[in-house]
């Protein structure tokens, strides 16, 4: 089969496992200080990504370090646009000091999930991306309104699926407040990724849900993130035969 696959991970969040994960991914979503990270962690994560040839992306969030960016917040579209642009610019300036550039933007946590359903919020994020560099890729929940908004605004997109999260019948992620929201078993994670990538479907209970899998996410703050990354890498590369896209 002549395929390639992108595996991304949320990094620079102070989990202490970035160096273990980086050899097994192709895209790093780097926290820009609003939910986690600071200039030092951004710099160190960029250096690590460059060492392993991993694409660098901004991972902007609501200003919510106390709750790791996972609490729904409400700002005007103009405020969201400004905060996202500021975070992209911050990471890009640090990357530039290392002779690197950004390849993509992926919102984090509550900002990501809210924008997956709220087209006005999605448009605010996309305006920030377009203002900085309209050639950047945007990662968003597979098949969501966010993807449609980004495409309509002329941005390049990657439909994102999640290795370690369960799904609802409508294709959204199971809320973290529910006990079955996360997958903890390595084999279950690998099986879900394999199905999403090769069949473009995922199970929600007994219901088969269609997905477009352009990039697969591993949450870097998960307890098993490093083990999952290595296992997914070992499962996929023999089939797809190449690491980068």
Task: Give me the CATH number covering residue 198.
Answer: 3.20.20.370
Of the candidates 106, 122, 126, which has an alpha carbon nearest to the alpha carbon of residue 114? 122
Task: Please name the residue ranges forming H helices in the chain.
Answer: 18-21, 39-52, 77-97, 109-115, 119-132, 145-152, 186-199, 225-240
* pTM, full prediction: 0.94
Contact 10, 217 (CB under 8 A): yes
Residue 244 predicted with pLDDT over 90: no
The stretch 7-33 carries a mean pLDDT of 96
Does 189 map to a domain?
Answer: yes
- Above pLDDT 70, what percent of the chain? 95
Which token pair is 163? 């290795």
Q: What pLDDT sits at residue 240? A: 57
Q: What pLDDT sits at residue 167? A: 97
Full domain range(s) for residue 58: 6-240
Looking at the DSSP bridge assignments, the partners of residue 55 are 27
Does 44 map to a domain?
Answer: yes
The stretch 161-188 carries a mean pLDDT of 93
Does 1 map to a domain?
Answer: no
The stretch 94-122 carries a mean pLDDT of 97
Looking at the structure of the chain, the number of domains it has is 1
The stretch 27-45 carries a mean pLDDT of 97
Does 245 map to a domain?
Answer: no
Residue 93 predicted with pLDDT over 50: yes
Q: What pLDDT sits at residue 115? A: 97
Does 209 map to a domain?
Answer: yes
């Amino acid at each position: 089969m002549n395929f390639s696959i992108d595996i991304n991970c949320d990094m620079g969040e102070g989990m202490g496992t970035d160096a273990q994960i980086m050899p097994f991914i192709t895209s790093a979503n780097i926290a820009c200080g609003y939910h986690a990270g600071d200039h030092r962690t951004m710099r160190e994560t960029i250096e690590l990504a460059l060492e392993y040839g991993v694409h660098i992306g901004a991972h902007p969030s609501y200003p919510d370090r106390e709750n790791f960016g996972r609490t729904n917040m409400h700002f005007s579209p103009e405020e969201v646009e400004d905060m996202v642009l500021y975070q992209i610019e911050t990471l890009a300036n640090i990357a530039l000091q290392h002779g690197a550039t950004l390849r993509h933007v992926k919102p984090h946590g509550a900002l990501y999930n809210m924008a997956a359903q709220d087209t006005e919020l999605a448009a605010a994020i996309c305006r920030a991306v377009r203002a900085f560099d309209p050639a950047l890729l945007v990662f968003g929940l597979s098949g969501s309104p966010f993807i449609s908004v980004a495409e309509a605004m002329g941005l390049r997109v990657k439909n994102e699926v999640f290795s370690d999260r369960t799904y609802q019948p409508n294709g959204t992620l199971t809320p973290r407040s529910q006990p079955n929201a996360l997958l903890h078993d390595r084999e279950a994670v690998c099986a879900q990724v394999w199905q999403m990538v090769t069949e473009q479907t995922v199970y929600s209970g007994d219901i088969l849900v269609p997905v477009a899998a352009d990039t697969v996410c591993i949450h870097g703050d998960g307890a098993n993130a490093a083990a999952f990354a290595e296992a997914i890498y070992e499962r996929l590369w023999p089939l797809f035969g190449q690491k980068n896209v």
